[in-house]
Chains A and B, each alone.
Chain A
Amino acid sequence: MPQVTVRFFGFGGKASGFESRTEGISQGTNLRQLWESVRCSTAQNDLLARIDERQVFFLRNGELIRREQMQETPLEEGDTVTFMVLAIGG
């Protein structure tokens, strides 16, 4: 089973830094599917499960992936996917 690294950024919890873990995926899993499954499986990290998706942005190997394109983004062994909170500054 291919393995990808999933990192969550800014979702609160223990140190509100990032958490990082390895997920097994099936061949051909796309980013959308991975996101949905990670959300469901992190019920204990409450915010991640209930945050409005529009507040999140998604990186695959450091590259920003638009929400519309998540379904067309297949993941491969060794990929690093980062889910980050959108916030604006000043």
Chain B
Amino acid sequence: MIRDIGAQRILNVDLSSGRTWLEQVDHEDLLHFLGGRGINAKLLYERVPKGIDPLGPDNVLIFGPGTLTGTNAPSSGRTSVTCKGPATGLYLKVSVGGHLGAELKYAGHDYVAIHGRAEHPVYIWIDDDAVELRDARHLWGLGTREADHLIREELGDDEVEVGLIGPAGENQVLFSCIIFSLYNSASRGGVGAVMGSKNLKALAARGTGGLRAAEGEEFVELALRTRRELSKDAGSESLYRWGTSGSIPPLNELGMLAAYNFSQVTIDDAEKISGQYLEDEGYLTGRESCFSCSTACHRFVRSREHPYGVVRDSGPELETMLSLGAECGIVDTEAVIKSNQLCNDYGLDVISAGHVISWAMESFERGLIKGRQADGLDLHFGNADSQLELIRRIALREGLLGDLLANGTKQAAEEVGGDSWKWAIQSKGLEMSAADTRVAKSYALAFAVNPRGPDHLMTECLAEFGFTEEARALIKEITGDDKYAVATMLEKRSDIVRWHEDCYAATDALGFCAFTTTAAYAVNPQNMARLFSHALGVEFTAEELMRAGRRIVTLERCFNVREGARREDDKLPWRIMNEPVPEGPNKGLVTDKDTLDRLLDEYYEMHSWDPHTGIPKRETLQNLGLLELCGDIAAD
């Protein structure tokens, strides 16, 4: 069936009863929330009441490809996966690429909302109109690579797209992920554990239908033009050439390379874990892209026989090189390729996995993890063999240490005690990704207020560094003067964060990759609005688009407020707030409480949220058309 892009449908699945049913998405809602992450957020707010157990049957797991996913808008193949997060107990939106999102759209579904819990392991098989719950008991316990292959084999169709969990998700590790199309991951916050708690091994889809834009010629003409512009952007070319880990040498040079659990900001031989090295030393055997993307930032590598055996897998990416590499004191390509592959196969978020282990290493070196608790492992920084063994134990919750760390650094530090909480680089229960928020102040603010915890995947303000002309032009557009394109400045950070929040939400909602809108700029609010407009055949401006982005961000805040989150929760890890950068060009910088308070004051004021609690005011909700939905939590 070939559907109009604007005629959106939700496929609901109740795993407890086996029932499936379809719903239409209200056209007004589509214009207000744009789709993808936006509609996901609305569904979550409506269906997941306050206080439910994220790992219980009342949580709802929602897959929402973007509204333009499945079209040839450039790099528009991203999907948002939304639920209440097990690591934080708060709102969790995770973003993922690959090809499953497009396949779901071609099968006739713009959202898949999964309720309840199956009695025994199952997987959902969506074959165009037909939806079936199939037995997954023979797949339970298998790694993602083997299970993906078996599912496609037993369904008899090589073009089936699969999203699935590995043993880590089955064991409800609080940083387990969902692997999509083998090379992509919905990673953070324990989203894999939610799937595991529902006894859901996989979501498999085959869609032979299609999508129609209301103004097809205009749509395709703009899409192709934007695709070409994007491909000429210096950032895109660099991503193609070296991947995201091409940033390693510059980060090291600029003294912003997180190492040894964020206690250092440079590391010797950093180039050994760089994208350049992967290419030069012959590890790189291919480049993969997400659906409809002409950037191909993904790596595909083949390691050598010695010392870990030949590995052929996707990645490693920048965060991987940082978290499993530099943060653990392991500056060794072979080791990171291997640890990345293990995380892919077990289904673990590499950012948290690396930071949980680097926390354990620091705790070990400081004598806080010792004896029985170290479970026979030498956890000095740099010990790659221990790291690999620990990844396995965490995924399987094996042994004292494996089980302890499987719950993340926040809980592990509570149990280990002493000062170990100080070097748990986490906030709200989520490990921080490796951007130095002592240096980059928009990042610092964005990380502190991020509803899912401190990371860059909901609002990344790369432009504040002013590395390129386009970045400086954007800062000028936002603040009036490109002199503010200096990351260490405190002025205008709220303005910068606000623009990026709104744009990022719209980006996710339409299905675009954030690399096209907030790291390269060929896809921008104007283009997005025009493409949305041509797709649906309605007038739609960039202002309306950004306003819808604001609406989504506010709705997400409301969910957290309802769960009890307040201003006190908008903070950064202790080390970031108390231990200044130890060396290099940014030596001495820190984002202390006074600084954060100042940034938060400005941010809440700008959003018109109550400055003491961070709760959106009644009038603010009214202005955004959210009063009916979220009025119950408003600050008066």
Contact = CB atoms under 8 A, between A and B. Distances in A.
Nearest to B486: A64
Interface in B284-319: 317-319
Nearest to B434: A89
A87 B472 contact: no
Contacts of A13: 280
Contacts of A85: 238, 242, 246, 249-250, 276
Interface in A37-70: 52, 54-55, 57, 59, 62, 64, 66-68
B237 A88 contact: no
A11 B463 CA distance: 23
A16 B250 contact: no
Contacts, number: 105
B238 A86 contact: yes
Nearest to B238: A87
Given A52-B234, A55-B234, A9 B456 contact: no
Given A12-B276, A12-B279, A88 B319 contact: no
Interface string B306-336: 0000000000011100000000000000000
Interface string A72-89: 000000000010111111
A35 interface: no
B471 to A, nearest CB: 10
Nearest to B465: A64
25 contacts: A10-B249, A10-B271, A11-B276, A12-B279, A15-B277, A16-B271, A16-B274, A16-B280, A17-B272, A17-B274, A55-B234, A55-B237, A66-B466, A85-B242, A85-B249, A86-B234, A87-B244, A88-B244, A88-B462, A89-B247, A89-B318, A90-B318, A90-B319, A90-B456, A90-B515
Contacts of A62: 585
Contact of B253 (A52, A82, A88): A82
Q: Which of A10, A57, A88, A89 has the most CB of B within 10 A?
A: A89
Contacts of B276: 10-12, 16, 85
Contacts of A54: 234, 468-469
Contacts of A10: 242, 246, 249-250, 271, 274, 276
**Which applies to chain A's interface (DSSP): helix, strand, loop or mixed?**
loop
Contacts of B456: 90
A55 B397 CA distance: 44
Contacts of B244: 87-90
A84 B280 contact: no
A87 B275 contact: yes
B235 interface: yes
Contacts of B237: 52, 55
A58 to B, nearest CB: 10
Interface in B219-260: 234-235, 237-239, 242, 244-247, 249-251, 253
A59 B252 CA distance: 13
Interface residues of B, number: 42
Contacts of B472: 66
B269 interface: yes
Given A87-B242, A89-B247, A67 B469 contact: yes
A16 B281 CA distance: 9
A90 B242 contact: no
A84 B271 CA distance: 13
Given A12-B279, A64-B466, A85-B242, A90 B457 contact: yes
B508 interface: no
Contacts of B319: 89-90
Interface of B: 234-235, 237-239, 242, 244-247, 249-251, 253, 269-272, 274-277, 279-281, 317-319, 456-457, 460, 462, 466-469, 472, 514-515, 519-520, 585
B234 A9 contact: no
Nearest to B233: A54
Given A9-B250, A85-B250, 12 more contacts: A10-B242, A13-B280, A15-B277, A16-B249, A16-B271, A57-B250, A64-B467, A87-B242, A88-B462, A89-B318, A90-B456, A90-B460
A37 B457 CA distance: 40
Contacts of B318: 89-90
Given A12-B280, A16-B276, A16-B280, A87 B271 contact: no
Contacts of A84: 249-250, 253
A87 B250 contact: yes
Nearest to A7: B253
A17 B317 contact: no
B318 to A, nearest CB: 4
Nearest to B317: A90
Interface in A10-37: 10-13, 15-18
Nearest to A63: B585
A89 B434 CA distance: 10
A88 B247 contact: yes
A62 to B, nearest CB: 5
A19 to B, nearest CB: 11
A42 to B, nearest CB: 16
A57 B249 contact: no
B48 to A, nearest CB: 28
Given A12-B280, A64-B466, A86 B269 contact: no
A20 to B, nearest CB: 12
A83 B560 CA distance: 45
Contacts of A68: 469
Contacts of B317: 90
Q: Which of A9, A13, A67, A68 has the most CB of B within 10 A?
A: A9
B468 A86 contact: yes
A78 B519 CA distance: 34
A75 to B, nearest CB: 19
Q: Which of A9, A16, A64 has the most CB of B within 10 A?
A: A16
Contacts of A64: 466-467
B488 to A, nearest CB: 12
A18 B246 contact: no
Contacts of A87: 235, 238-239, 242, 244, 246-247, 250, 275
Contacts of B515: 88, 90
Contact of B519 (A15, A17, A57, A88): A88
